[in-house]
Structure 1
Amino acid sequence: MTNAVSVVAYLGNEKWMAQPWWADLYPGDDVVHWIGLDSYANAEPGQYHYGNFAALLDRAPTGGGTGFYDWATRHHPGKPIMVAEWGVYHSTTRTAPKAAIYGSVVPELRKRPAIMALVYFDTVRDDTGDRNISVESTPEGLAAFRRLAADPIFAVRLR
């Protein structure tokens, strides 16, 4: 097959990554073209999953262990990584600054050459109804996301 790729996407939640069967979910290098991560960062200091883009990529299993990026590149070298679903959220009842988190993306991508794709999940209300993941929840956040999207690191040439 030359017109499609298969992606296995893992939920980047410490609870699931700590399960003994987590690594067994990988179906094999012969059928997986890309390895994906579905993970989010909270913009509210002191809250669950607060942190920058590195924290989103390096989240380790409950009880310790290797974070996602290191696991994927160590066990499946040469496989491209897709951050298949990511976002920065805050509560729908209050806003929090997202600009610094968006500003942390490019420096972290430069350190992680296996990441070849990012897919942002943008919604003003998630499925639980209490998280705003929209890039335009604040003017500063939108401006920072626009700077991120305009960075030359994304000026790629397709073959």
Structure 2
Amino acid sequence: MPAIQTTPGNQTRLRAGAAVMTLAGLVFVAYAVVFLGLNFTGAFLELGVGLDQVDKGMAEVEAFSPQLHHYISHLHIALSGFIAATGLAIACQSWYGVRRGERWAFATAVVVPTVGLAVALLQRNAKPCDEKRLRFRTVPLMCGMESHIYRRFFGAS
């Protein structure tokens, strides 16, 4: 896909949108650092997961099975690496590609985190019905927002 030719007014909006997308990518990286740090603290699990969701902490898991504790810890470390890599890729594509009007960079920087969120949300099928409906509505809502952002910053219909 070729770069989009923009007017000076649209170029300002394009640069502002690319800066916001770059910031979002850097927030991914920051979350990955927090996620990694939580692996080595008493929290052990990700942000938002506490005793209401999981009734065992790091010490209990380790006492039950040191191998299971090591496995969960390894998954957290690996996942934090993938989150950081995704954030870095989004930030770079946004800053160097989207800012120049490259459609492929915009599409990739938007689709990659959307797919990740869709997989994360849709895999939780054992939750109450209202929560399922909310999750199934989130992905189409995100796609609609992304379409609006694309039209707004690239001036396409």
Q: Calculate the TM-score normalised by the size of structure 1.
A: 0.25
Structure number with the higher helix fraction is 2
Structure number with the higher strand fraction is 1
